[in-house]
Structure 1
Amino acid sequence: MYRLRGHHIFCLLGYRGMGYSKEYIENMTRLHQDLKNNPKTFIHLVKGPDQLCEKYPNSGDYHCKDQHIYERDAVMLEKLGLKVGQILYWEDIESRIRKSVVPSDIQVMCKDCSWRLYGVCEEGVQEILDGQGLRELK
């Protein structure tokens, strides 16, 4: 079982092997590929820092506890009809994405995210809508 905060659900859709540090990338890649290969993996939705935040580089202000990040989490969980504390399979989260999200939602929900500019999150949403699941990393 993995602990995930709301906005990291969408970060996983757009993940392409880039990140903040080598340790962060290794951690994110492991989690991403586990979910791709085992969609029946349980996810526990949490408020605040999760297993991805554990490897976020400590370089001053701790991004993972910023109020705007908590707000982004809440918006994304609401969009999916999910709540902090729920435990469900990753495949159930993908099913909610297919029912509730379109690629252009990323432009609104993630408007302040620097990763949005790469366009990979919209691609990730579309891949879920197309039934492909998470992308295989190369």
Structure 2
Amino acid sequence: MDKQEYQYRIRAHHGMCLAFFKGNGYSSGFTKHMGNVKYALEENPMIKVLADEDDICKECPNKDMSCVADGKAAAYDREVLLRCHIQPGEVMPYSEFAKKVYDCILSIGTREEICGNCRWNELCHF
């Protein structure tokens, strides 16, 4: 597969969300969809890392209210990209992205600096 080809568009901060996802979410439809995406990512497809809406967002019932309107998600994305040394639009295997998120944020305990004000914060602990 060409380095620029990708199967999924994943926004940067969703790298953290996916690491902790256990089936909770905004709605049953969103939760099912996110679970399906997480399962597909276990096959290690090529992804395009974004700082914008992605393949997970398309099933979010709140995308026009809490996420987009207040800018929290965009701020989370910028911070993940910065800390992981990833450029918006960069294409890589999902496992490489997940490792960068783990090594640069999760394993050193700085996740809450990025998204501690997220409504799902209490779910994001190993």
* Aligned twin of 2:23: 17
Unaligned runs of 5+ in 2: 1-6
Residue-pair matches, total: 119
Please report the RMSD computed on the Cα atoms of aligned residues, expressed in angstroms: 1.9
Structure 2 CA distance for partners of 1:59 and 1:15, relative to 1, 3 Å: closer
Q: Secondary structure at the match of 1:3?
A: strand
Select 2:97's aligned residue among 87, 93, 97: 93
* Aligned twin of 1:105: 110
User: Are the counterparts in 1 of residues 16 and 101 from structure 2 also a CA contact under 8 Å?
Assistant: no
Q: Secondary structure at the match of 1:16?
A: coil
Q: In the alignment, is residue 56 of structure 1 matched against residue 60 of structure 2?
A: yes
Q: In the alignment, is residue 5 of structure 1 matched against residue 11 of structure 2?
A: yes
Structure 2 CA distance for partners of 1:107 and 1:24, relative to 1, 3 Å: same
TM-score by length of 1: 0.77
Q: Which runs of 4+ in 1 moved over 3 A?
A: none
What is the deviation of 1:50?
A: 0.9
Give me the identity figure in percent.
Answer: 22
In structure 2, C-alpha distance between the alignment counterparts of 1:78 and 1:59, rounded to whole Å = 23
